[in-house]
Structure 1
Amino acid sequence: MAQLKDKVSSAIVAVSDIERARTFYSETLGLDLEEDGMGGVLVYRTGSTHLLVYPSDFAGTNKANAVVFDCGGDIEAIVSDLRTKGVSFEHYPDMEGVDFKDGIHSAGGFKMVWFKDPDGNILHLNSA
C-alpha cells in the first residue's frame, strides 16, 4: 500500500516579489535554480529535495521556521559566506543554555542559525 511516509517532500516559501526572491535565493544563498516558469514558481534543488518559491499576498506572515537546512560541519563556513553577502543573523537571547557567537547559537555540539529572506520568512541552519 502506498504511504505518505515513503514520499519525497519539499519546502515551499511565499514571497511578495519573485524577482527580488530570485536574486536572494540564487545569488545570496547560492541555490541552483532547477525550474522557472510554472506560474512564477521558482524551483531550487537543495541536496536531495527541492525548495519552491512562489508569489503570494501572504508572504512573510509565517512567524516560525519556513525552511531548515542541515549543514553539518559546514555551518561556520556557510555562515561566513552568507555574512559576506550581507545576510544578518537573528539572535534569540532567551534560549536557556545556548551560547551565541558570530551569528551562531550553540548548545553542546549542536549549532543553530536563523536569518530572514527579504519577505521576513525565517530560514534555519543547523549542524545536525
Structure 2
Amino acid sequence: MNQDGRNPLAEGRVATRLPAADLDRARRFYAEKLGLDPVDERPGGLLYRCGGVDFVVFRSAGTSPGTFTQMAWEVDDIEAVVTELRRRGVVFEDVDLPGLRTRDGIADIEGNYPSKGARGERGAWFRDSEGNMIGIGQPVR
C-alpha cells in the first residue's frame, strides 16, 4: 500500500512474459500454429495482444521447464478451439493424474474457478516451440 492507502499492484495490469531461446522459431510457431502476429517487436522480444491483454515472448538464455501452465486463454468453445489448433498442427498434452485426466485432449476440472461463478472448467494444454506450457480453458457454468 502506498501513502494514500491504494495498492499499486491491485490497480496495475498483469502482463505475461514467456522465454524463447529462438525468437524467429517462436514467431513462426505463434503465426503458423496460433494465427497470431506481433503488434510490436524489438530486438529482444515480440509483443502480442489478445482480447485487449498483452503478452511478450522474449529472447532468453534460460528455458522454461514446461511443467506448469505459464499462460492460458479463456474461450467460449474449447472443442472448436482445440479442433482448429490441431488442424494447424498443435499437439495437445495427454494428462493422466489423480483427479485430472484428458480425453481427446480436454480435461473436465471440477470446482475450478469458483470466483468466476462457474462450477468447474474444461481445460487443454500444449507447448509452444520454446517449451512453454500454454493452456486453454472454458468455464463450466
What TM-score comes out, normalization by structure 2 length?
Answer: 0.80
C-alpha RMSD over aligned residues: 1.7
Matched, 1:82 2:93: no
Q: Deviation string for 1:55-75 (max 9, x for gaps)? A: 11112235221111111x221
Partners of 1:110 and 1:63 in 2: how far apart? 20
Q: Which runs of 4+ in 1 moved over 3 A?
A: none
1:39-54 equivalence runs, <5 A: 39-54=43-58
Which sits farther off after the overlay, 107-116 or 20-29? 107-116
Q: Structure 1 stretches of 5 or more lacking a match?
A: none
Aligned counterpart, 1:56: 60
1:1-128 equivalence runs, <5 A: 1=4, 2=6, 3-37=8-42, 39-71=43-75, 73-96=76-99, 98-107=100-109, 110-128=121-139
Structure having the higher Rg: 2
Partners of 1:59 and 1:21 in 2: how far apart? 13
Q: Deviation string for 1:69-124 (max 9, x for gaps)? A: 111x221111101101111111111141x453221111355200011011211001
Partners of 2:66 and 2:84 in 1: how far apart? 26
Which sits farther off after the overlay, 56-65 or 78-87? 56-65
Asked if 1 retains the 8 angstrom alpha-carbon contact of 2:95 and 2:101, the reply is no
Which sits farther off after the overlay, 58-67 or 111-120? 58-67
Equivalent position SS for 2:39: strand
Give the share of equivalent positions with the same residue, in percent.
Answer: 31
What TM-score comes out, normalization by structure 1 length?
Answer: 0.87
Equivalent position SS for 1:106: strand
Structure with bigger helix share is 1
Q: Structure 2 stretches of 5 or more lacking a match?
A: 111-119
Q: Structure 2: which amino acid aligns with 1:18?
A: L
The total of aligned residue pairs comes to: 125
